[in-house]
Each structure stands twice: as C-alpha cells, then as structure tokens.
C-alpha cells in the first residue's frame, strides 16, 4: 500500500518524504543517510520499485526511474 498523501496534487518531494517516514518502505526501499541535512539514499536495486509506486500514485503505469529522477533534480 502507498503512503497516505493527497493523490491529485501530490508532489514528488512529498511522496519521497512520506516513503522515508513510513517503516514499511524505510529502510527496505529508501533510507535516511543524514536526516538533519535532508540526505537520503535509495537502497540499491529498489529504484524500479520506487518508480513503480510513484507511477501508481500518479496513475502512470509507464513511469520509469529515469523519468522520476528528472523530476527530482
């Protein structure tokens, strides 16, 4: 299940923050490296899963990590 955030106007940064705050996803998919500085790391091999979750949230089944990461920059 996806973290609880408003669906229609969800921003990617908010989605990532919610993943980091959810024990179901942190540290399995994503984890804090330095929370105070806002530095996090996607667990190796989990980028496709995070992109899939983001695609589900945005109703975009063709979402890839490459597309998603461009939005993060």
Q: Bigger pLDDT: 9 or 48?
A: 48
What's the CATH number where 59 sits? 1.10.10.10
Does some domain include residue 6? no
pLDDT of 57 higher than 90: yes
Q: pLDDT digits over 37-47, tens only?
A: 999 999 999 99
Does some domain include residue 48? yes
CA distance 49 to 28: 11
Q: How many domains does the chain have?
A: 1
Task: pLDDT band for 73, please (50, 70, 90 cuts).
Answer: confident
Is 53 within 8 Å of 41 (Cβ atoms)?
Answer: no
Q: pLDDT digits over 2-39, tens only?
A: 655 555 568 999 999 999 999 999 999 999 999 999 99
pTM to 2 decimal places = 0.81
Instruction: Please give the structure tokens belonging to residue 53.
Output: 């979750």
């Amino acid at each position: 299940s996806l973290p609880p955030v408003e669906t229609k106007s969800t921003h990617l940064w908010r989605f990532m923050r919610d993943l980091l705050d959810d024990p179901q996803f942190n540290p399995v998919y994503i984890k804090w490296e330095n929370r105070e500085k806002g530095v996090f790391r996607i667990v190796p091999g989990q980028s496709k899963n995070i992109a899939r979750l983001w695609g589900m949230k945005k109703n975009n089944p063709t979402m890839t990590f490459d597309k998603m990461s461009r939005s993060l920059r």
